[in-house]
Chain A
């Protein structure tokens, strides 16, 4: 192979290997020969158009973090407006310019900020930034592969993501402002430029950006699936896979199933907007004019959107849960409790996640009978979720907990996953949804259960695998500061929001001052905003720690956390192909921590069973 990338085997060749897993070592040998004639890497091929999964993981992480800074900064801006509505702030004048005349935020800009905050956080940070980073980094390393099945597709996937990020950022600078119809961009609001300024060029760019994003996500997901199925090293059976890989694998499958549907929704919306079709529009009179659209239905759009939108929640959350499973087991020095149940619950959640989308639409005008069906399937999801939570707690029980920053974030995730998940019982119940639908109660619920939980998963992953990614250690004390301020503030922000929602306050209101009835929640809004600012400041500690440690961090040892999984058997120094020489063979599952009869409290997956040693989980 001339281009020196060790794993640019044609896909069909990989597929041929499907049935002969045992021949994997032969493939490994083939790779080895490549290593002899590496051609010289240039800056371009190493850092920019890299096909190495480890570099692509870093690219995803850094792009995701950059988008995260923008997304969180936006939330701080609208938190200022919500706490001190319609007051003048110099920071608005500086950052929003003409959209904040005399420093007072314009209502349209408020909606734009809310919209882009949601879009960026859900898709760009928690889908691409989280899943993109850790799937890329860990899939080949934890299953014992030289690289992804297709390095080229992997590279294209990242650059499409980068392109879509660029377009999304560019949309912030168009004349009439970016998309402002909420991150769900329901038509007709999103379809008609007459309805709001953000539905002009800003919305077009949003749709284009998302279409490219979906393409990127699909390429990535297909690659992950193929890699996990085909490129596992010898001995790495599916039932020996670490839970991280199970989570990434199943996440990729949900992505492949549901993202195309969002693409179709986006394409139909583009047609309605630009080519006069009526998929989602009918009987509209706006700005003194009757429009020609006839026969479409916005409810159809809602179905298509949420067919992705709900699985998306799990696309965001499952990788975070996989990461925590790994980190909690490692740092408890105990096997993850109920490995099979954990895998089964991942599969159950994945399956159920594709048949619950209607719970976002109980009061959309959809037939109430359908509402009953969706209530049923939705509440079922609580069962595998409960199993997961209990299994995490039992894993901690009688452990020898190493409370590293990654571990704190993982425990924090379980805490917010429970707090946020429980209110899902209210929202998933069609009856109770009637009065809390689209209120701040929903905002509180999903921020805790998927927003904060997934962010904790992201942070946990960064702290845990930083040594693997950059060969350096992050400062643990800054990590502790980061965790505790964030943990207190996350509850400080979202717990009170439940009360605002139960008071009947709708979300996406620019100000509540037009309703004297809500005057008594003004002070809650100030409390929430103050917590939000403190939480934002805590992220600066993380950023500083992250950047500083890349350059000046303490050099990492090969296996700092004494972990069993395979990535820690690879050398600290990054190399194409991950392992010098042959890929190690796997002899056991990933969770032999504190196993009786062993000297250490860990046994790497590549260590053969001792004579007479019993193997678990097979």
Chain B
């Protein structure tokens, strides 16, 4: 039935286009039937160009007004503020250039719309002008590049140290696991070839003969103590995945056959982030949407949605198969005391395989 409706709509669209073109054809028969723009076209299209400039500006303003609230909140990691700074500087630059160049482009298209008998200016070259608009981008970009590289180096330069917490993020289709290095602070050797040992209890393939591995702790929920550097070691057992933690401005691919690294220091606990005014507003908005949706669901006899409470997320951000869209893990940033209490309750690898 719906198929017939769809077809009907398509046919109707076709007919209306045909009719519109008929109308155009008819309206043209008396005057010039040429398909080349005449003064009237130039005038209309030139004005439309100017209107389009207004459209671009309005769209930009409206988007910020309506959707500004969906943007990520303030970074919850130490390097995140550097990241956000660089982002805002780049954005300021982009908006400036965008506003000016779009204005020139569309204003000129409007202002110099053609007129019969008018002659364009023969103006083929100007070395000074061209030098100016080559050199200005050079200088601006040099600044951005230097600032960017400085930040990049300081973020990516991971130095092993005793203070840092070492955590392995282990990816597989379609879930995440985390492995803590335990008392000794060293992750035991691991390889996919050990995965089938101990009737599948060896969830991330730890080499049981490596003493470093016995005190490792494997969990399904990532807990991080606030204010302490965390060095992540990423592994994948099957295909590429990407460990994406947007609130911490952190991401690294998980590559089968190699170990990749990323490090950051969380500075805002989950509780603190829940109290962030932006976050409160966002959660409120989300819950309002969920209440609305629930009404529909209940009307259909389904269960209502649970109210949403904010939590940090680890998402998979590299296409990895059918359930890529649902490969996630909760991250909880808490005080060191809470963290110590939690980790002490988790069974070690040695306990699991016994």
Contact = CB atoms under 8 A, between A and B. Distances in A.
B8 to A, nearest CB: 12
Interface in A545-578: 545, 548, 553-554, 560-561
Instruction: Provide the main secondary structure of the chain B interface.
Output: helix
Contacts of B321: 111, 189, 195-196
Interface in B1-43: 1-3, 5-6, 13-14, 17-18, 20-21, 24-25, 28, 33-37, 41-42
Contact of A90 (B2, B124, B285): B2
Interface in A371-427: 371-372, 375-376, 379-380, 382-383, 386-387, 389-394, 396-404, 407-408, 411, 414-415, 418-419, 422-423, 425-426
B81 interface: no
B90 A495 contact: no
A414 B13 CA distance: 31
Given A334-B122, A387-B130, A560-B36, A503 B70 contact: yes
The range of chain A's interface size is 35 or more
B324 A517 contact: no
B123 A335 contact: yes
B260 A365 contact: yes
Contacts of A548: 21
B86 A431 contact: yes
A504 interface: yes
A434 B250 contact: yes
Contact of A286 (B87, B98, B113, B173): B173
A296 B240 CA distance: 13
B69 A520 contact: yes
Interface string A457-493: 0000000000000000111111011001001100110
A596 B122 CA distance: 7
Interface in B96-131: 97-98, 101-102, 104-106, 108-109, 112-115, 118-126, 129-130
A188 interface: yes
A337 B124 contact: yes
B237 interface: yes
Contacts of A429: 86, 90, 144-145, 148, 152
Most buried by A among B59, B120, B238, B322: B120
Interface in A144-199: 181-182, 186-189, 192, 195-196
A375 B148 contact: yes
B191 A283 contact: yes
Contacts of A382: 137, 141
Contacts of A393: 101, 104-105, 108
Nearest to A278: B257
A408 B45 CA distance: 8
Contacts of B240: 186, 188-189, 298
B237 A284 contact: yes
B339 interface: no
A593 interface: yes
A419 B122 contact: no
Contacts of B129: 394
B165 interface: no
A239 interface: no
B239 A192 contact: yes
Nearest to A593: B120
Contacts of B352: none
Give chain B's interface residue range (CB within 8 Å of chain A).
Answer: 35 or more
B151 A431 contact: yes
B310 interface: yes
Contacts of A90: 1-3, 5-6
Contact of A437 (B60, B251, B290, B326): B251
A548 to B, nearest CB: 7
A491 B256 contact: no
Given A398-B123, A399-B121, A107 B113 contact: no
Contacts of A376: 145, 149
Contacts of A476: 35-37, 41
B19 to A, nearest CB: 11
A284 B134 contact: no
Interface string A92-121: 011000000000000110010000000000
Contacts of A282: 256-258
A435 B152 contact: no
B141 A509 contact: no
A368 B115 CA distance: 56
B105 A415 contact: yes
A426 B94 contact: yes
A186 B157 CA distance: 27
Interface stretch (B48-56, B181-189, B215-223, B343-351): B48-56
Contacts of B67: 496, 499, 521, 524
B60 A495 contact: yes
A364 interface: yes
B60, B129, B149 — most chain A CB neighbours (10 Å): B149
Interface in B76-92: 82-83, 86-87, 90-91
B195 interface: yes
Interface stretch (B206-214, B224-232, B241-249): B241-249
Nearest to B311: A517
B308 to A, nearest CB: 4
Interface stretch (A25-33, A536-544, A604-612): A536-544
Nearest to B195: A285
B112 A298 contact: no
Nearest to A491: B59
Contact of B249 (A196, A402, A435): A435
Contacts of B130: 338, 341, 387, 390-391
Contacts of B266: none
B286 interface: yes
B175 interface: no
A415 B97 CA distance: 12
A487 B102 CA distance: 14
Interface in A67-112: 89-91, 93-94, 107-108, 111
A402 B286 contact: no
Name which of B55, B114, B122, B137 has the most chain A CB atoms within 10 A of its CB: B122
B122 A335 contact: yes
B71 interface: yes
Contacts of A404: 36-37, 41
B98 A422 contact: yes
A591 interface: yes
Nearest to B290: A519
A181 B108 contact: no
B222 to A, nearest CB: 16
A500 B70 contact: yes
A363 B285 contact: no
A297 interface: yes
A332 B120 contact: yes
Interface in A511-534: 511-512, 514-517, 519-522, 524
A321 to B, nearest CB: 15
A475 B37 CA distance: 11
Contact of B239 (A189, A364, A481): A189
6 contacts: A282-B258, A372-B153, A386-B134, A403-B41, A474-B35, A516-B308
Given A297-B258, A476-B36, 8 more contacts: A283-B257, A364-B255, A400-B112, A432-B90, A480-B45, A484-B48, A594-B119, A616-B125
The 7 A-B pairs of least Cβ separation, nearest first, read: A282-B257, A90-B2, A504-B246, A368-B156, A403-B45, A473-B35, A365-B260
